[in-house]
Every structure is written in C-alpha cells, then in structure tokens.
Amino acid sequence: MDPARHPGENDVSEDFVRELTDHQTAMLAFIRALMPGSSAARDLLQEVNIILWQKRATFEAGTSFKAWSFQVIRYHLMNHRRRLASKGWLVFDDELVERISPVLEADPEELETRHQALHHCLAKLRPKDRELLQHRYASGAPLEEYAKLIQRSPGTLKATLFNLRGALRKCIERRFQDQGTSPT
C-alpha cells in the first residue's frame, strides 16, 4: 500500500473524477454565462478543475457535486473579476453574479431549451434590432460608438435595448407556455 494514500482514498478519487468529468459541460456553460464574451472560459475551467481537485477532500460524498463545484466557480470568478477590474477591465459586479447564478445553475438540457427559445425569439426580431443586440452584448464596443455609426443617440439606443429585452422575455415566456413548461 502506498504510504501517502489512506485506505479507501482510491475509491473516493475515482468517484470524484467521475463527478468532475460528468459536470464539465455544465461547469463550462456556467463560466461562460458568468463571463460573457470572455475568450478565457476554457482556461478558467482548467483553473477551476485544479482547485476542485485540491479541495476534493472537502466535498461530501452524497451531496450535490454541481452545487459544490458551482460555489467554487463563483468564488474563483469573483477573484478573477477583481483581478481584471484592477487592470481596468469592465466586469460584472459580484452582486449581479449572485443574482443571476441560480438561473445559470439549471440543468444543461434546460439551458439548451432556453437557448433554443432565445434563438427562436431573436429570429423574430427585425435585422436592425438583432444588430443592436449583437453590438451591445457581443462586440464589447461602447454603445456610444455604435450610436454615432448609425446616427442615433445613445439614450434612444438604451431605451430600444430596454424594450427589446422586455419583448424577448415575453416571447420566451410565451414559448415556454406554448410548450407547457416554465422558463424558471
């Protein structure tokens, strides 16, 4: 017997590795949702995997691995966002992340259903509205820059974005109602 290994540790490690690998997709989706637009999601997942492995002794078998790992992810990403903010990057604040985290912890199948509903609802928008949403949430460029480009005021665009988010929310809710499911 390996003197550095405790009796039964191999079984625990195998169970832990199984849980860790089973949850990789959900963990990556959670990281991407908390760090939208970040190209570092896979790198952050690897950092989290190392932390989870180092903390494996604190995981209680029989409890929710997903809940435990997502909590570790939250703390790691809070520290990561603080490092980015100290370098002048614009990042979500911790309060916002805590508010949206429960939604993001949904099962991967539920997330896929939500994604499909969003895709369906986005397709129903006018091209110029989709372009505005794309610019606002995917480009990383300031809204003021886009406002100048299309010769509209930033305030008008902010109001339009508010209305578009409301319309998307209602469309998604209707889609779930039509399917007999709940969006929450």
Task: Please indicate, yes or no, whether residues 81 and 156 belong to a single structural domain of this protein.
Answer: no
Query: Residue 166 is part of which domain span?
Result: 106-184
Considering only CA atoms, which of 141, 44, 131, 157 is closest in space to residue 90?
A: 141
Task: Please indicate, yes or no, whether residues 50 and 100 belong to a single structural domain of this protein.
Answer: yes
Question: What amino acid occupies position 52?
Answer: L
Res 107 pLDDT > 80: no
First to last CA, the chain: 50
Phi, psi of 48 (to 5 degrees): -65, -40
- CA-CA distance, 173 to 175, in Å (whole number)? 5
Q: Encode 41-52: b = buried (16+ Cβ within 10 Å), e = exposed.
A: beebbebbeeeb
What's the rounded mean pLDDT across residues 54-65?
A: 90
The pTM of the full predicted model, rounded to 2 decimals, is 0.47
Angle, alpha carbons 47-84-88 (nearest 5°):
165
What percentage of residues in the chain have a pLDDT greater than 70? 71
Task: Please indicate, yes or no, whether residues 9 and 98 belong to a single structural domain of this protein.
Answer: yes
Task: Please indicate, yes or no, whether residues 10 and 20 belong to a single structural domain of this protein.
Answer: yes
Task: Please indicate, yes or no, whether residues 133 and 42 belong to a single structural domain of this protein.
Answer: no
What's the rounded mean pLDDT across residues 166-181?
A: 84
Task: Please indicate, yes or no, whether residues 158 and 176 belong to a single structural domain of this protein.
Answer: yes
Task: Please indicate, yes or no, whether residues 40 and 72 belong to a single structural domain of this protein.
Answer: yes
Lowest-pLDDT range of 127-131, 132-136, 169-173: 132-136
Average pLDDT, the chain: 78
* C-beta separation of 107 from 30 below 8 A: no
Task: Please indicate, yes or no, whether residues 22 and 113 belong to a single structural domain of this protein.
Answer: no
Q: The domain that contains 115 carries what CATH number?
A: 1.10.10.10
Considering only CA atoms, which of 136, 63, 148, 64 is closest in space to residue 105?
A: 64
Question: What pLDDT does residue 91 have?
Answer: 45
Task: Please indicate, yes or no, whether residues 125 and 101 belong to a single structural domain of this protein.
Answer: no
Task: Please indicate, yes or no, whether residues 164 and 98 belong to a single structural domain of this protein.
Answer: no
Task: Please indicate, yes or no, whether residues 4 and 67 belong to a single structural domain of this protein.
Answer: yes
Q: What is the pLDDT of residues 19-50, one digit of tens each?
A: 999 999 888 888 887 776 667 788 889 999 99
Tally of structural domains, the chain: 2
Task: Please indicate, yes or no, whether residues 128 and 87 belong to a single structural domain of this protein.
Answer: no
- CA-CA distance, 71 to 68, in Å (whole number)? 5
